[in-house]
Amino acid sequence: MFEDVPHWNPRFNKTNAHLTGFRPIYSLGQWLKSIDPLSFIVYRTYACSRGSVKPALRNGDINMPTIRVPDSEAQDFNESIEILSSELEEALLSVAKCRIECFTGLQDADSRNDKLSFDSPYLFLYHHRAVLSELSKKGDEDLRREAFPLLIYLKERQRGIYKQADQLFAKKVTDAKVLKFLFCPNEIVVSKKNGIELAYAVRYLHFHPDDSIQLVCWAWTYDGSELKRKSEKLHLIFKAGDARTILDLNVYPLRFATEEIKARLLARGTRMWELRMPQLVTYKGMDFLQEKFINEGRCMLDYSTYKIMHRGAGAFNQKKDKAPLDYDNFPETIGKDETLSEDTAMLCPPNIHGFLLKEKVWVDLLVDNVYGVTWNKDAFKRLVMPPSTKDLVEALIKAHASASWQQGGLVSGKRLDLIAGKGLGLIMLLHGSPGTGKTLTAGKHFVAEIAEMPLYSVTCGDIGIEVEMVEQYLQKVLYLGKTWNCVLLLDEADIFLEERSLNDLKRNSLVSAVFLRTLEYYEGILILTSNRVGTFDEAFRSRIQLALHYPKLTPLFRKKIWQNFFDILSEDREDVDLLELKEHMDELSKREMNGREIRNALTSARQLASYKKITLQWVHLKETLDIGKIFGDYLRDVHGHADEDWAREEQLR
């Protein structure tokens, strides 16, 4: 170790030279004691030898030192600064944004040297220049005297690279030389994953010789009870060359993001936090994994239920992240009852788990595609049903869904049934021919919309027929129905409602032990639909509070259904000649069709016109109707009767 600038000493041979100095330091501690107290000290470490160097000699005396190494020779050396002043060290650490080791990847260093030290190009000091400047101006006299020389040295020694970085960053561009100055630990960065903008907090940095940077970061993940940290490694690959726009990098600091990007991140994080509590929502778009498109599906968000049903899901088995480092001012966790700051909100996950009520599956959803539920009250007006029946159904539904009902029935303190836990539900039976609107009434076009409750629909195919499987499935459905206050629709429930027989004891067990008990003790709204009410078991009759018959459609009802569909086409601004279609309304109402057949015919006509890239006209609708009639006539000829006539003869309905 030497005190002065090194020079080449050609002591060894004429082709190799070694560095040496004039003023050696044998003991750094003794040397420091021998001089006035210093605020900091600068170390430079040189390569002590180099090959193929012809030393400059004086008078052939190889013992004589040669010239000093001029700056123009660009001799490589590593430089570091060590803070000697305890007051300056304490001041720097008190205002630090991060640990010094976070710039070198040594994030888990439990201790550092006795003295505070920095390696060139002093990334820590670069990001703390403003603080250092404040200390040199506003600190006490001793602190100002110690901070000012350090600031001056940085300005003189690093002026070129610091200035270049500042100028490029001011233009929101960077190059390979200044790239390492772009990031600071504990700040928020932005990256994209599958086209989705994500925010992360930087934990520490790794700089690689190829100018690439590894950023070890974290962001929040939610498990239904709290936000937890989840580590993520981001890699910034930068090829040497011309300057690049910072926003074009695959990861960049949030401070360079546009106001629009910041607003999106904040809005999404705020929205995610609003969705953490159980609620019904509408979802439209691709799921988070980009595997499934969901078209305006109703979805329940409920992490507590999700955890009960899927304890092994990844959302509840996250590996515990490392504890926050010093100067990390973000909370380690955030409970679900706490509020979020803007920074913590930006770090929220872009996804949330929910249960698709139609598909009956849990999916990973994008927060940006989650919307509030808009209840379709207009559907009630379009429902083709006698007005008196409409009024009765609406009254029963609203009464059962009201808060006063839930708190004690129609009269406060009065039981609805003498046996506790029985008779608290509303059970409705909708029976009639296929396509007359039974499922539509129970679903989005009436009951669920009027009650403003989720609709959980199941069929016999979902449930199965084995007693054990049926009981398990029904227990699950009833649990979800009660937890989420759903309208339960058991569509095509004929197999459960049919009269018991002495010849089928297994099915008798299914009906009496499982299904009857379900009807007796369910406390919500349960709707059954059936095409074969004539085969009903008498035990069900007393358990059904309201039974609605859906008769074969009359011409008047068919006319109303056609008009409803035409109104929907008009509202959706479809390319259709409605005036021409309405001119044939009388002809349409006379065709023997149910509601489902009417919808299918109109859908086929729309697709035909769309394929031909022309306006939907009567000719397209008539073509689909005529083709459908041919098939219907063929089936009637094969069977020798109409389906409705056969069902009546067999006393099915």
361 in a structural domain: no
Q: Is residue 420's pLDDT more than 80?
A: no
Domain boundary at 524, 547, 570, which? 547
Q: Which residue has the higher pLDDT, 640 or 488?
A: 488
DSSP state of 511: I
Q: Is residue 405's pLDDT more than 50?
A: no
pLDDT in tens, 311-359: 888 778 777 777 777 888 999 999 999 999 999 999 999 999 999 999 9
Contacts of 531 (CB under 8 A, 6+ apart): 431, 432, 433, 434, 492, 494, 647, 652, 653
Residues 158 and 185 in one domain: no
- Is the separation of the CB atoms in 384 and 289 below 8 Å? no
Q: How many domains does the chain have?
A: 4
Three-point CA angle 200, 204, 207, nearest 5°: 110
Residues 340 and 411 in one domain: no
Output the CA torsion 45→51→57→63 (10° steps). 60
Lowest mean pLDDT segment, chosen from 150-154, 445-449, 499-503, 591-595:
499-503
Residues 232 and 307 in one domain: yes
pLDDT in tens, 174-193: 998 999 999 999 999 999 99
636 in a structural domain: yes
Residues 503 and 476 in one domain: yes
Lowest mean pLDDT segment, chosen from 75-79, 118-122, 138-142, 153-157:
75-79
Residue range(s) defining the domain that contains residue 442: 378-547
The pTM (predicted TM-score) of the whole model is: 0.78
Residues 475 and 529 in one domain: yes
Residues 145 and 196 in one domain: no
486 in a structural domain: yes
Confidence of residue 618 (pLDDT cuts 50, 70, 90): very high
Q: Is residue 306's pLDDT more than 70?
A: yes
Residues 421 and 487 in one domain: yes
pLDDT in tens, 238-248: 877 778 999 99
Segment of 414-418, 556-560, 640-644 carrying the highest mean pLDDT = 556-560
2 in a structural domain: no
Share the mean pLDDT of the chain: 80
Residues 210 and 339 in one domain: yes
Please give the pLDDT value at position 14: 46
83 in a structural domain: yes
Residues 562 and 591 in one domain: yes
Please give the pLDDT value at position 61: 30
Please give the pLDDT value at position 355: 96
96 in a structural domain: yes
Q: Where are the beta strands (DSSP E) in 494-628?
A: 525-530, 546-550
Please give the pLDDT value at position 227: 95
Residues 530 and 580 in one domain: no
Count of positions (residues) in the chain = 653
Average pLDDT over residues 525-553: 75
Please give the pLDDT value at position 435: 61
10 in a structural domain: no
Could you tell me what percent of the chain has a pLDDT over 90? 31
Phi and psi (nearest 5°) for 414? -95, 140
Encoded tokens for 458: 């199941």
Residues 534 and 601 in one domain: no
Q: Is residue 9's pLDDT more than 50?
A: yes
Domain boundary at 163, 187, 207, which? 163
- Helix segments in 297-375, DSSP class H: 303-309, 342-346
357 in a structural domain: no
Q: The sheet that has 455-459: what strands, in order across it?
A: 455-459, 487-491, 525-530, 426-432, 546-550
Residues 540 and 559 in one domain: no
Q: Where are the beta strands (DSSP E) in 357-450?
A: 361-366, 370-371, 426-432
CATH code (residue 519) = 3.40.50.300
Domain boundary at 547, 577, 598, which? 547
Confidence of residue 539 (pLDDT cuts 50, 70, 90): low
Confidence of residue 492 (pLDDT cuts 50, 70, 90): confident
